Amino acid sequence: MTNQGAMIGVDLGGTRIRAARLTPQLTLEARAEIPTRVEDGPDRIIERMIGLIREVWPANGPINHIGVAAPGPLDPFTGVVLSPPNLGWRNVPLRAMLADAFGVPVTVGNDANAAALAEAMIGAGRGLRHMIYLTISTGVGSGIIVDGKLHTGARGLAAEAGLIPLLYGDQVATLEDLSAGPDMAREAVRRMESGERSSLAVVSGELTAEAIGAAARAGDDLAYTVIASAGRNIGLGIVTLLQLFNPQRVVIGGGVSQLGALIFDPIRATAAKYVCDPAFLEGVEIVPAHFGGDVGLIGAGALVLTQGGTLDLEEAARML
């Protein structure tokens, strides 16, 4: 499979679909986007995706490959999207449908894995052989680089760090349940409804992590402690990952990461406190991601260059 020449990257999300034409150096040349409208079902969504790809297809010159970053769970070996909760799809053969439409090879990968590849190739993890990537926004996703390759597992389902179980009182919940943006909003509303005072009360039905962050920076104690609690839970999840994978760096992206020190300080403090031995954190930085909203498009291109994450990053980097 050749990876030379321009490629198309597609970022399939529950809210919007984006497509871009990329150079072999993962530079975006043209882009377009449309609402996903998940209620329309997979066939109509893929029809619109095909139209979107045509919008960024070059008038002159070949496209050698299409890469798609899609929500999991999915099978990257067959390109079948299994059952992503934010799309409501079930066993949709996305790779085959796009390959039939365009007559070029198509690589489909988990969106968090794609983002991890983007950060590892040209972002905050560039040059490293071992890296953990977490994206924290409406959910928690992850991608793991082990010895220069994406860790996918036997069926391509590995690295779902958001599903790490944690105790919440006497209940078991996942890391995603206890640290994503919607959980912070729910926790803030719950505490206000129980009588705690907060400047957030006037918008208690429509809270976002960004609004909670603004209130915390303005001195709102409730907002501050809600973020700190989420940061502590993320830190505990990272302790598990540090002790399982011994990475060189942990890179955190997604909307919640935009809270800056409010979220990173408790993450780092918790990791330092609960790691079983300081050696697991020696020389390890926990840092913000380099890429923002374009990470899915760049990651889709990185899927192509790494042959779905199977190629060693050093070999893939020689193509840049």
> What is the DSSP pairing of strand 140-146 with strand 131-136?
antiparallel
Query: Could you tell me if 79 and 204 lie in one domain?
Result: no
How confident is residue 3, by pLDDT bands cut at 50, 70 and 90? very low
* Triad 127, 309, 23: Cα angle to 5°: 75
Query: Could you tell me if 29 and 149 lie in one domain?
Result: no
- Give 290's DSSP letter: S
Query: Could you tell me if 210 and 105 lie in one domain?
Result: no
Query: Could you tell me if 222 and 243 lie in one domain?
Result: yes
Query: Could you tell me if 159 and 227 lie in one domain?
Result: yes
pLDDT tens for each residue of 261-288: 999 999 999 999 999 999 999 999 999 9
Query: Which parts of the chain fold into alpha helices (H)?
Result: 42-56, 94-102, 111-122, 175-179, 181-193, 209-217, 221-245, 261-274, 295-305, 313-317
Instruction: Tell me the residue range of the domain where 76 lies.
Output: 7-110+294-317
pLDDT tens for each residue of 156-175: 999 999 999 988 889 999 99
pLDDT tens for each residue of 68-100: 999 999 999 999 999 999 899 999 999 999 999
Query: Could you tell me if 147 and 243 lie in one domain?
Result: yes
CB–CB of 229/209 below 8 Å? no
